[in-house]
């Protein structure tokens, strides 16, 4: 069976002991560390800043998986890669056209990071098929972005299936990640649909992290 990666979302971590939270999830088998970045414009919430990523990017060996939910991804992408993002994921809904998305993917690669593209629940998987050849990852949002602790939207499962089919049949080198409302049960549905990386925030933090990470794998 293929490896399933778990990416704890720091949105639900205890910020007063962030270093311990990060080191714990790494010790318990997480291989990606999911940083949610929000600007209060693209989504009605604010979260991690460049300084946070800079401070903690090198204290662990997980992939710094930075998910930017912002209205000016071109500027923010650069700042977060400089701060230590290994994988930079922006939203297709935040750019004007697929041409712009394509340019930004090239920029991200030029800066030495992997490029991910995220789709909100109302955006179809098929609408970004044209960009798959250039992408390292597609992030399927299974909740409306903005807040942790929401309920999983089952339509994400069909999107993962459609992406898996397209990626495999064309031989692209692109991972599929899902984010929002992931727990043991919804994680299982996504794994069966062909996902590679499970993001989970409220399911992991504030609980027995080892037991929760193991249950997702």
Would you tell me which residues interact with Zn ion (CB under 5 A)? Answer: 36, 67, 179
Residue 12 beta carbon to Zn ion: minimum distance, rounded to whole angstroms: 11
Q: Confirm or reject binding of residue 116 to ligand DX5 (CB under 6 A).
A: no
Residue 119 beta carbon to ligand DX5: minimum distance, rounded to whole angstroms: 12
Q: Confirm or reject binding of residue 6 to ligand DX5 (CB under 6 A).
A: no
Nearer to Zn ion among residue 36 and residue 39 (C-beta): 36
Query: 């290994």: which residue's tokens?
Result: 86
Q: Which long-range contacts (CB under 8 A, 24 or more apart) does 16-22 make?
A: 18/52, 18/56, 19/56, 19/59, 21/205, 22/56, 22/59, 22/60
Q: Confirm or reject binding of residue 40 to ligand DX5 (CB under 6 A).
A: no
- Does residue 36 carry a catalytic annotation? yes
Residues ≥6 apart with Cβ < 8 Å to 215 = 184, 187
**Site string (163-202) toward ligand DX5, x via CB under 6 A:** ----------------xxxx----------------xxxx
39, 65, 136, 179: the catalytic one is: 179
20, 36, 106, 168: the catalytic one is: 36
- Does residue 179 carry a catalytic annotation? yes
Neighbours of 130 (CB within 10 A): 11
The CA-based diameter of the chain, rounded to the nearest angstrom, is 46
Under the rule (CB under 6 A), what is the footprint of ligand DX5? 9, 11-12, 34, 36, 67, 143, 145-146, 148-150, 179-182, 199-203
Active site residues: 36, 179
């Amino acid at each position: 069976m293929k490896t399933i990666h778990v990416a704890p979302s720091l949105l639900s971590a205890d910020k007063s002991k962030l270093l311990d939270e990060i080191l714990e999830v790494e010790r318990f088998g997480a291989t990606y560390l999911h940083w949610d970045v929000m600007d209060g414009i693209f989504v009605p919430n604010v979260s991690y800043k460049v300084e946070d990523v800079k401070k903690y990017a090198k204290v662990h060996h997980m992939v710094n998986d930075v998910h930017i939910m912002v209205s000016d991804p071109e500027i923010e992408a650069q700042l977060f890669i400089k701060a230590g993002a290994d994988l930079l994921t922006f939203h297709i809904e935040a750019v004007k056209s697929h041409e712009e998305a394509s340019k930004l993917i090239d920029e991200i690669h030029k800066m030495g990071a992997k490029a991910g593209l995220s789709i909100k629940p109302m955006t179809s998987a098929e609408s970004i098929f044209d960009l798959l050849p250039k992408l390292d990852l597609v992030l399927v949002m299974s909740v409306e972005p903005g807040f942790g602790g929401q309920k999983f939207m089952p339509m994400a499962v069909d999107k993962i299936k459609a992406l898996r089919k397209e990626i495999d049949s064309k031989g692209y080198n692109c991972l599929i990640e899902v984010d929002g409302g992931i727990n043991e049960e919804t994680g299982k549905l996504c794994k069966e649909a062909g996902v590679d990386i499970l993001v989970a925030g409220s399911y992991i933090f504030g609980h027995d992290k080892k037991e929760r990470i193991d249950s997702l794998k």
